[in-house]
Amino acid sequence: MSDMKLAFVSAATEEAAEARAMLVERFGEVPAEQADVVVALGGDGYMLETLRTAIGSGKPIYGMNRGTVGFLMNDYQPDGLPDRLRGAQPVTLYPLQMRATCRDGQVTEGLAINEVSLFRSSAQAAKIRVHVDGIVRMEELVCDGVLVSTPAGSTAYNLSAHGPIIPLGADILALTPISAFRPRRWRGALLPHSARILFETIRPEKRPVNAVADVMEVKDVISVEVWEDRSVKLTVLYDPEHNLEERVLMEQFAP
């Protein structure tokens, strides 16, 4: 393995665990805190989990797909792994910070690498007031929900909600409604990465709303603040022929 020290982590699936065992036997490993690179085996969900674990460590993450979608992962190929790691290209990701205030006054903070989403949690449509940088930009959005997406997350739930694909490095966030009823024709907005977004729920006692930062859910919120946190820097490694920027570009021309 020359002088490169690796740590291998895997999702709980049998396929991922078997891949990890084989790679450890073949290349050896060190604890994650001593590694030069952490190799994550699983799908996109596990990559997000690994990235959250890596916050504050400065460790680059190299993912190999042993899951379902694997948009954030490299192809699984054990052969030549040391050379692939040395030739891998780094991509810097900045997460979103969420600060959610609940009806009982509790405040919860969380980081999201893909998106922060608000969802109605009853049969009633949500009514949400949207502020951007202290200015009310939409007095009342009637919808199933609304989300703010990073460029890395723009091809995930944001795309399913008909939001725009954002190239990495564009310094833009996507603000995308989920099944908007009023304004019916509103398709969202593109915001500078420095924007601070505030969502206020209208009549939350009748129209309860939950907030989600990637996978962390906060129930019965009355307000949610979202902004990009550039104090947190995450590094993901990609094979040159399969880098994330190229895949984001390819998604925009997918049939």
Report how far residue 120's alpha carbon sits from residue 134's, in angstroms, rounded to the nearest whole number. Answer: 24
Q: Is 229 noted as a catalytic residue in this protein?
A: no
- Percentage of residues of the chain with pLDDT beyond 90: 76
Residue 246 has pLDDT above 60, yes or no: yes
CATH number, domain of 136, equals 2.60.200.30
Give the tens place of pLDDT for each residue, 105-125: 999 999 999 999 999 999 999
CATH number, domain of 53, equals 3.40.50.10330
In the block, tokens 């999201």 appear at 112
Select, from the ranges 42-46, 82-86, 143-147, the one with the highest average predicted confidence (pLDDT). Answer: 143-147
Specify whether 37 is located in the same domain as 139: no
Residue 255 has pLDDT above 70, yes or no: no
Q: Which residue has the higher pLDDT, 249 or 21?
A: 21
Specify whether 102 is located in the same domain as 186: yes
The tally of CA atoms less than 13 A away on the side-chain side of residue 221 is: 31
Give the tens place of pLDDT for each residue, 10-23: 999 999 999 999 99
- Catalytic residue, from 3, 36, 44, 214: name it: 44
Give the count of domains, the chain: 2
**Which whole-number Å values give the CA distances from 50 to 8, 10, 27, 62, 72, in the listed order?**
11, 9, 20, 10, 12
The three-point CA angle 38-40-43 to 5° equals: 160
Specify whether 34 is located in the same domain as 153: no
Show the domain range for 43.
6-93+233-251
Residue 252 has pLDDT above 90, yes or no: no
Specify whether 72 is located in the same domain as 161: no
Specify whether 108 is located in the same domain as 222: yes
| pLDDT at residue number 2 | 52
Specify whether 170 is located in the same domain as 88: no
Residue 1 has pLDDT above 60, yes or no: no
Residue 244 has pLDDT above 90, yes or no: no
Specify whether 131 is located in the same domain as 208: yes
| pLDDT at residue number 227 | 98
Specify whether 105 is located in the same domain as 150: yes
Residue 7: CB atoms within 10 A of its CB come to 18
* CA-based radius of gyration for the chain: 20
Residue 205 has pLDDT above 80, yes or no: yes
Report how far residue 35's alpha carbon sits from residue 202's, in angstroms, rounded to the nearest whole number. Answer: 48
Give the tens place of pLDDT for each residue, 40-75: 999 988 988 899 888 888 899 999 999 887 778 899
In a domain, 1, yes or no: no
Cβ-contact 237, 62 below 8 angstroms = yes
pTM as predicted: 0.84
The tally of CA atoms less than 13 A away on the side-chain side of residue 74 is: 25
Specify whether 48 is located in the same domain as 144: no
